[in-house]
Amino acid sequence: MKFQHYLERISGIQIFPFISLLIFVCFFVGVSYWAFKIHKSKIKEYENIPFN
Amino acid sequence: MHTEVFYYDNKFPKYFAIATIVWGVIGMLVGVIAAFQMVFPVLNFSEYFPYLSFGRLRPVHTNAVIFAFVGNGIFTAIYYSIPRLLKTEMWSKRLSALHFWGWQLIIVLAALTLLAGFTTGKEYAELEWPIDILITIIWVIFGFNMFGTILTRRERHLYVAIWFFIASWVTVAILHITNSMELPVSLFKSYSVYAGVQDALVQWWYGHNAVAFFLTTPYLGLMYYFLPKAADRPVYSYRLSIVHFWSIIFIYIWAGPHHLLYTALPEWAQSLGTVFSIMLILPSWGGMLNGLFTLRGAWDRVREDPILKFMVVAVTCYGMATFEGPMMSLKNVNAISHYSDWTIAHVHIGALGWNGFLTFGMLYWLFPKMFNTTLYSRKLASTHFWIGTLGIVLYAIPMYWSAFRSYFMMKSFTPTGQLEYQFMDIVQTIVPFYFIRAIGGTLFLAGVIIMIYNLWKTAQEGKFIESERAEAAPLTKQYVAPAGSLWHSIIERKPLMLLTFSLIVVSIGGIVEIVPTFLIKENIPQLTSVKPYTPLELQGRDIYIREGCYTCHSQMIRPFRYEISRYGEYSKAGEFVYDHPYQWGSKRTGPDLARIGGKYSDAWHFNHMLDPQSMSPGSIMPAYPHLFETEIIKSTTISKIHAMRRLGVPYAEGYESQCIKDMEIQADKISNNLLKENKIEIKSESEIIALIAYLQRLGTDIKLKK
């Protein structure tokens, strides 16, 4: 198996970390929003599953 | 609504728990032996046989504690908690048995093959291809059993612990398969399909995430079940645990390149690794605080209850290690910690503190439950706790000390610009620290022995409950989500969707980092002077891999003045394009060998390998007398050359018919030289000749150019 180099170079690779960070921040905000929207009674129910 | 009766099985949790303990003792014992070998090289028993040499023992230790001790610990937790959290039985007894015995078989095979020298030479993934395949099969069996259980559950919501188990399962599967891509050469020999920089990136993407998804996330699942159980109160914040879960699996996968800072890995990949490693602090500490706050208002009990003590220290160690890790990913800190004993201290805070203590806490809680009794002796458990803690302290502090000490010695220059210390000077000043570390490890192991006695007595006093009766209503087929529930509640209910989402989340990081490194030429500048290894050198390289020289030696010089003056010009990505697998190493107990070629005479290497102390008084390197007696199996050269060509190494078409001849010519030259110039008589077929050829080749491609 050989891994050829398909592209000679990639322009603007410096932006990768930035984009990745952005994706994460959006994702994080989404997840947090979700977590905090869950109704209190549901949370009570879920966290007590190990004890039922 | 009618309820159904079913039984929780305790047999397999018990089996896995016993396996955890047995392999724990063996894995730790091997670790203690290896630790003493670094003080007393005679303990390598090199004179008698090659099997217990440090380079072979160390992979046995790491594999045993990770995959055997922690692995069985994970399965204990899963087989005990999942049925109870889902109000159902494990899906299939037969699959449980296959999983249990299959995993133990893998461990036995792993230990035997590693001692015999069958290794891929990739850290934490040393097992050869037949075992890799077996692991895949057993992992799939385990997956079927787990998902079968989840799909036949009687509790709609999946408790957060299960999310961690699911994500761990799928990620470990991808990691294992991607990193184990290798081309078999014979039954127990293969070459990684990746080479050099790419191999290093894939390996550390795997290596780091083995820490993440084998040592961390499943144990977080374990924490989310057993800590509330032991404390008898629900987790501090269930919302936090949701955020914790998704962020930790998202971020962890990106952090691998922090193992390769200042190496020949492209700069942008290094930066990504650093950025995400720093961000890891947040979810990690979220999890730690969630664990510790669960005990709010119960601190008086922590003082009395050894189980809670173990768990509190475990979670605290987790917090320490996950703060330290991101710090070590900062480039300037990494310059000190990489290749040094700091890393060893860091992983042992995690392994002994987090994994070890959490496992002990779980076992102390589980045995009385399974045997329907109380713990035989709380006092002994407390003694175990204190001895274990002292063991961790005695382990870690000397390692930190030795790391800083050797760093300052390595980088100190005299006023005239010479390196102030020889490598051996440094080795000699840190050997006493190695001794204290070995004592620390011994204490930790002694604690485990106390635990075994305690659990044994507990089991004797109680009566094993093979299965526990339970009752619950089945899930209704037509479920209507309550009005106002969000889309997320769908994911929480649907395990396969949860699986898919986790898969997507963990894939993003891997793809962004790995794909460009493979596809873009700019990342690995070609060096025309770099040529494939000669057949003899290739054989020598395989001996280097077999003996695990990479456990003590790196082959990657970083661009620092103090490294260049000591080891030579810093390493370039293009130098490793034919290295299947790469051998950069991660720990420098001995000097870097990337440019050892031409530094010494053949005779020096000959004597040094036979008895390192004869050339470097006080050396802690093992001797390798067996290399002088064993002969190269020449016929293997053909299949090796063939395999390498298939992997893209440019040996001429048909070179197979020529390679043995070439090998003999080169070997004869070396042995004749040894005879003529040093009056050393050695058969040119001996393995040592091939090893010398390989060592003398290392790093010379670039020197020639100058």
Contact B486 A45 (CB under 8 A): no
Which residue in A23, A49, A52 is closest to B508 by CB distance? A23
Q: What is the pLDDT confidence band of residue B705, given thresholds at 50, 70 and 90?
A: very low
CA–CA separation, B564 and B49 (whole Å)? 37
Within chain B, all domains assigned CATH 1.20.210.10 are found at 295-475
pLDDT at site B478? 66
Which residue in B157, B254, B519 is closest to A5 by CB distance? B519
Give B-chain residues touching A26 at CB under 8 angstroms.
none
Pick the CATH number of B535-697 from 3.40.50.720, 1.10.760.10, 1.10.10.10, 2.60.40.10: 1.10.760.10
pLDDT at site B492? 66
The distance of B356 to chain A (nearest Cα, Å) reads 23
Contact B240 A35 (CB under 8 A): yes
Contact B247 A49 (CB under 8 A): no
CA distances B439 to B64, B165, B383, B445, Å, are 20, 35, 17, 10
| A34 interface with B at CB cutoff 8 Å | yes
CA distances B528 to B415, B465, B651, B671, B701, Å, are 39, 69, 15, 30, 9
Q: What is the ipTM of this complex?
A: 0.85
Q: Are B296 and B247 in contact (CB under 8 A)?
A: no
Q: Are B98 and B239 in contact (CB under 8 A)?
A: no
Q: Are B358 and B350 in contact (CB under 8 A)?
A: no
Q: What is the pLDDT confidence band of residue B483, given thresholds at 50, 70 and 90?
A: low
Within chain B, all domains assigned CATH 1.10.760.10 are found at 535-697
CA–CA separation, B152 and B47 (whole Å)? 58
Average pLDDT over residues B672-701: 95
pLDDT at site B206? 92
Asked whether residue B423 carries a pLDDT value surpassing 80, the answer given is yes
Asked whether residue B586 carries a pLDDT value surpassing 70, the answer given is yes
Average pLDDT over residues A3-13: 53
pLDDT in tens, B129-183: 999 999 999 999 999 999 999 998 999 889 999 999 999 999 999 999 999 999 9
Give B-chain residues touching A11 at CB under 8 angstroms.
none
pLDDT at site A7? 47
pLDDT at site B536? 97
pLDDT at site B480? 63
pLDDT in tens, B80-93: 999 999 999 999 99
Average pLDDT over residues B304-331: 95
Which of B121, B204, B195 shows the shortest CA–CA distance to B548? B121
pLDDT at site A1? 43
| A41 interface with B at CB cutoff 8 Å | no
pTM of the model: 0.94
Give A-chain residues touching B163 at CB under 8 angstroms.
none
* Residue of B154, B246, B490, B518 for testing the chain A interface, max A β-carbons within 10 Å: B246
Residues B137-151: b if buried by 16+ CB within 10 A, e if exposed: ebbebbbebbbebbe
pLDDT at site B16? 98
The distance of A22 to chain B (nearest Cα, Å) reads 12
* Residue of A11, A14, A18, A20 for testing the chain B interface, max B β-carbons within 10 Å: A20
Average pLDDT over residues B428-456: 98
pLDDT at site B521? 59
- For the domain B295-475, what is the CATH superfamily, name and number? Cytochrome c oxidase-like, subunit I domain (1.20.210.10)
Asked whether residue A8 carries a pLDDT value surpassing 70, the answer given is no
| B303-307, B311-315, B526-530: the lowest-pLDDT one | B526-530
